[in-house]
Structure 1
Amino acid sequence: MNGITDKVVAITGASSGIGEATARLLAERGAMVALGARRTGRLDDIVATIVATGGRAIACEVDVTSPSAVANFVDQTVRSFGRLDVFIGNAGVSSLSPMAELDVDGWSSMIDVNLHGVLNGIAAALPVFQTQGRGHFVTTVSTSGIKIVPTQAVYAATKNAVRTLLEGLRQESTDGVMRTTSISPGYVQTELVDSIADPRIREQAKTSMAALGIPAEAVARAIAFAIEQPDDVEIGDLTIRPTRQG
């Protein structure tokens, strides 16, 4: 037994990148995984591959900006596997631009997905954790919230809001029932930069990603490390970045 075998893990943003890599790794190590995202076709393909190799997985259509959709995701996970041990809030969007461009729609989208989406996950999973007497929230944050750079102000703000949120939740949960972990990746080879509307900034981000980006599997291994710890050990924060990232 490796600390992950037979754990039930629900993952948002699981159709690609860090979410997909995490689902595959945890299933390989014996976890039961529920994959949530909006791209159900992609989810079905990933689940089919996991099941074909002996893993246990289900796919659920989830829009994290909808409280009812996230609640349904948690309900489906519990109905399928009998409980929920870990909720990984991984869904995120990035709409980078200088503040002066006043990309109000982009700002709203990042707040809705990156912050409200995490809150919706907490609202859905926390009652289950309290009833069970144990649970673990793992949330993907970002090194953008550690080193603030131009064009990333609002994106970084959403990530730092989540970091603060999880620390507050941790301090309210020192009875041993629940653990919280913030994972802060740097440049990772994912589709996140594809959501950047400004073509110049998008191409710059893609260039940096191609030159520096580490594989999503590296972040998945860090998430697995946090999850596999004994119940009385909490890994609060992990930062995973390329060695050449400034």
Structure 2
Amino acid sequence: MSTSRQTLLNSFNELLLPERFKDYGPNGLQVEGKETISRIVSGVTASRALIEAAIAQKADAIFVHHGLFWRGMDGRITGWMKQRIQLLLAHDINLFAYHLPLDAHPEFGNNAQLGRVLGLQADQRFGEQDLGFAGAADFASATDLARHVQAVLGRHVTLADPGNGREIRRVAWCTGGAQGFFESAITAGADAFITGEISEPQAHLARETGVAFLAAGHHATERYGAPAAAAHVAQQLGLAHEFIEIENPA
């Protein structure tokens, strides 16, 4: 089966409601390709490697979390940007990208899906634009939680442990580069906060507040939302869908 570009765009917009968010770049159709779409490839980032893999799979559309265009970036189409856009245009592939709307969706978003794979059920939203999730947990210590996250994601976890032996009864999380949400997570009553990245201030805050901070990787925490949302829409419209994982140490 196939559908039109506009129907696919409408379906993504109806699911993710991009108009609700103040974001760092354009959500929706970023590069226009062929009018008729039958096969979607999803991935985390619109890298050249993903575009080349989508071409090999004869995709008509790519759906990602990290698109090509960001607020404040250099607008010139040169170098790596030219190469990516040139491939999309040469093969007439549509590029759809949704950033914060994909983080926030209560079922198919990055945070909801990270909670699912970690066995955490959100009962609270917090932080800027309600992007953060929080819910009950049962871990004897921050170290036990870190071991669990590392085992599930298959990636080293950086743990800023306050060293107080605190049981983890409530966990907050926000995928990607959400280390700035740590204070909001503390205010929300979390015993531990999981995100993708850590900056210098978070280790001090962990020690001074007694709340553990876990950095589990930007890519590693955000590789679940795009395939979940794309698969849902593809099933609705009767389209083929494939998630392609591009290895990334981040």
Tell me the TM-score normalised to structure 1 length: 0.29
Tell me the TM-score normalised to structure 2 length: 0.29
The answer to which structure has the higher strand fraction is: 2
Larger Rg: 2
